[in-house]
């Protein structure tokens, strides 16, 4: 079994346990967090392509082509030449910027050669992708200032000691007019104008400069100069990356493969991508408590896309928690806390993540369930002699059958919550206790407290009932 396979096996054993438990979550974060440094060079070519493809929007021309390119490079005793271009357009970096760095790190740990192209010259033109108007060009001072902090902010996701850094001014500043015209003569103007953002601007009567039309070609020359095998970029960069393939063909080179990555949605749930200008971003330089709190503020529907884009979890592990959410054995809040812990662990460390988790719980998770209106109730005087499974099936109608109740308990989805003046204490009810009487289980758990609990609740997955005397 590969090193990654062993890690997935260990993590999966934790993912079926009680993810409201600090001890379980700490062990899980230790396992998944360590993967950011895991040597992936023992993965066969097909598994490498599969791991990369699972986190992308496009692999062009295909995932099979990526596997074939990896296998050919391995046979030649070299790694793929993998390229990511960075235009230094801002000094603040957010989680959205980390997405390509995470995939780039996987390539790096698979043994491939990574080159970061600092687009100092193309930044002076301005990437028009997704813009409704021409972007003002950056000055040399702007570029230097923005680059100064970029590396430090994304360093937790990527090993800069094992990367080539190139500035595209090295070759673009000296490009001759005959060479540029020779390339442009073989590039269709209609292909450049196919961009949706260009068409929208032209339809609205806005201007479109020649420099913007040339931008994708200038970016493509970067790929020619380093003879790239693979280029990464956001899905909004697809046409630019495809231009790289075309210009490499013009130069008689084997066209690069194109890997496009998702643009993660911002924290406000509006559907807009994460952006500083929209205020819906999570900065990489934020303190642990702030990071944890901002992740906890996202809508539940974004938890899975964030786990997919920002962590080292595999599809198999995501399938485990998705199934648990569906059958009610995992609460969305518990999974979101795990996600927040993953982000803080990556940007700080495990102790900082657990500290932020504890601080968040102290602030927000100790609200009494007595504040929740219209909870169903079960009386110990009336039903205390019934087994927990009977209460769940015939009294509360929380589950359809006794076997379903036992399965819920087996998957750590059955709990007692005891409230005292000091807060809440959650006790998992194992399968064997589900077959005991409700009164026995409640009394046994309550005896473990320093005093008599103020309130007791029975949780079955996401469903909650108050237990009264």
Q: What is the pLDDT of residues 120-141, one digit of tens each?
A: 777 665 555 544 444 556 666 7
For the cut 60, the answer to whether the pLDDT of residue 96 exceeds it is yes
- Tens of pLDDT along 414-428? 888 887 766 677 788
Helix (H) or strand (E) holding 234: strand 230-234
Cα separation, 377 vs 409, whole angstroms = 20
Cα separation, 412 vs 443, whole angstroms = 20
Cis peptide bond prior to 61, omega within 30° of 0: yes
DSSP state, 157?
Answer: G
Is residue 284 within 8 A of residue 93, CB to CB? The reply is yes
Tell me which of 6-10, 74-78, 384-388 is least confident: 384-388
When mean pLDDT is compared over 75-79, 142-146, 270-274, 386-390, the highest value belongs to 75-79
What is residue 8's three-state secondary structure? helix
| pTM, full prediction | 0.74
Dig out the tokens for 200 from the structure: 């929208």
Where residue 187 falls (left for φ over 0; alpha for ψ -120 to 50; beta otherwise) is beta
Burial of 424 (0-12, 13-18, 19+ CB in 10 A): middle
Query: Mean per-residue pLDDT for 220-246?
Result: 92
The closest of 451, 449, 446, 372 to 416, measured between CA atoms, is 446
When mean pLDDT is compared over 160-174, 196-210, 238-252, 439-453, the highest value belongs to 238-252
Is residue 124 within 8 A of residue 137, CB to CB? The reply is yes
Work out the pLDDT band at 306, boundaries 50, 70, 90: very high
What is the pLDDT, as a whole number, of residue 421?
66
Is residue 466 within 8 A of residue 457, CB to CB? The reply is yes
Task: Mention every residue, 6+ apart, whose C-beta is less than 8 A from residue 378.
Answer: 391, 395, 396, 438, 458, 465, 466, 467, 468
The closest of 290, 298, 303 to 332, measured between CA atoms, is 303
Task: Mention every residue, 6+ apart, whose C-beta is less than 8 A from residue 337.
Answer: 19, 25, 296, 357, 360
Question: Between 286 and 374, whose confidence is greater?
Answer: 286
DSSP state, 156?
Answer: G
Q: What percent of the chain has pLDDT over 70?
A: 87
Cα separation, 381 vs 312, whole angstroms = 50
For the cut 90, the answer to whether the pLDDT of residue 89 exceeds it is no
Q: How far is CA 62 from CA 50, 58, 66, 143, 180, in A?
A: 11, 8, 7, 35, 30
Question: Between 373 and 193, whose confidence is greater?
Answer: 193
Cα separation, 29 vs 31, whole angstroms = 5
For the cut 70, the answer to whether the pLDDT of residue 437 exceeds it is yes
Q: How far is CA 415 from CA 133, 305, 377, in A?
A: 56, 28, 15
Is residue 211 within 8 A of residue 239, CB to CB? The reply is no
Buried b (16+ CB within 10 A) or exposed e, 335-348: bbbbbbbbbbbbbb
Work out the pLDDT band at 444, boundaries 50, 70, 90: confident
Dig out the tokens for 350 from the structure: 């495990």
Dig out the tokens for 286 from the structure: 């934020």
- What domains appear along the chain, each with residue ranges and CATH number? 1-37+267-365 (1.10.240.10), 56-261 (3.40.50.620), 371-468 (3.10.290.10)
**Angle (deg, nearest 10), helices 210-226 and 238-250:** 60
What is residue 177's three-state secondary structure? helix
Question: Between 89 and 455, whose confidence is greater?
Answer: 455
Is residue 13 within 8 A of residue 326, CB to CB? The reply is no
Query: Mean per-residue pLDDT for 286-306?
Result: 91
What is the pLDDT, as a whole number, of residue 132?
44
- Tens of pLDDT along 327-375? 888 989 899 999 999 999 999 999 999 999 988 877 665 555 554 456 7
Question: Between 78 and 190, whose confidence is greater?
Answer: 78
């Amino acid at each position: 079994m590969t090193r990654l396979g062993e890690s997935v096996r260990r993590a999966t054993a934790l993912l079926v346990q009680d993810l409201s438990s600090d001890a379980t979550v700490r062990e899980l974060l230790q396992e998944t967090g360590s993967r950011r440094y895991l040597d992936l060079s023992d993965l066969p070519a097909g598994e490498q392509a599969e791991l990369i493809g699972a986190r992308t929007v496009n692999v062009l021309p295909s995932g099979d082509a990526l596997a074939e390119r990896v296998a050919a490079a391995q046979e030649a005793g070299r790694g793929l030449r993998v390229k990511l271009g960075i235009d230094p357009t801002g000094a603040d970096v957010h989680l959205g910027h980390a997405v390509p760095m995470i995939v780039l790190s996987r390539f790096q740990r698979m043994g491939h050669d990574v080159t970061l192209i600092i687009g100092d010259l193309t930044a002076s033109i301005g990437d028009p992708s997704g813009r409704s108007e021409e972007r003002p060009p950056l000055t040399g001072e702007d570029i230097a200032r923005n680059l100064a902090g970029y590396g430090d902010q994304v360093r937790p996701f990527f090993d800069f000691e094992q990367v080539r850094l190139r500035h595209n001014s090295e070759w673009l500043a000296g490009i001759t007019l005959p060479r540029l015209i020779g390339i442009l003569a073989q590039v269709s103007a209609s292909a450049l104008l196919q961009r949706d953002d260009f068409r929208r601007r032209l339809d609205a009567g806005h201007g479109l400069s020649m420099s913007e039309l040339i931008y994708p070609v200038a970016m493509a020359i970067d790929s020619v100069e380093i003879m790239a095998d693979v280029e990464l970029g956001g899905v909004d960069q697809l046409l630019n990356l495809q231009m790289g393939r075309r210009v490499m063909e013009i130069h008689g080179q084997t066209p690069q493969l194109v890997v496009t990555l998702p643009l993660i949605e911002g924290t406000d749930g509006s559907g807009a991508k994460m952006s500083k200008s929209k205020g819906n971003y999570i900065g990489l330089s934020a303190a642990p408590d702030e990071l944890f709190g901002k992740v906890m503020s996202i809508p539940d529907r974004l938890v899975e896309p964030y786990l997919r884009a920002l962590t080292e979890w595999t599809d198999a592990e995501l399938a485990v928690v998705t199934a648990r959410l569906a059958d009610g054995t995992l609460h969305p809040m518990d999974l979101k806390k795990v996600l927040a812990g993953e982000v803080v662990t990556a940007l700080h460390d495990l102790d900082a993540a657990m500290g932020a988790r504890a601080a968040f719980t102290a602030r927000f998770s100790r609200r009494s369930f007595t504040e929740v209106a219209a909870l169903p109730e079960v009386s110990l005087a009336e039903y205390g002699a019934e087994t927990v499974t009977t209460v769940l099936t015939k009294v509360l109608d929380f589950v359809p059958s006794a076997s379903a109740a036992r399965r819920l308990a087996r998957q750590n989805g059955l709990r007692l919550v005891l409230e005292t003046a000091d807060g809440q204490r959650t006790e998992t009810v194992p399968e064997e206790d589900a077959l005991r009487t409700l009164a026995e289980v409640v009394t046994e758990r309550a005896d473990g407290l320093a005093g008599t609990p103020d309130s007791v609740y029975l949780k079955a997955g996401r469903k909650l009932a108050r237990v009264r005397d």
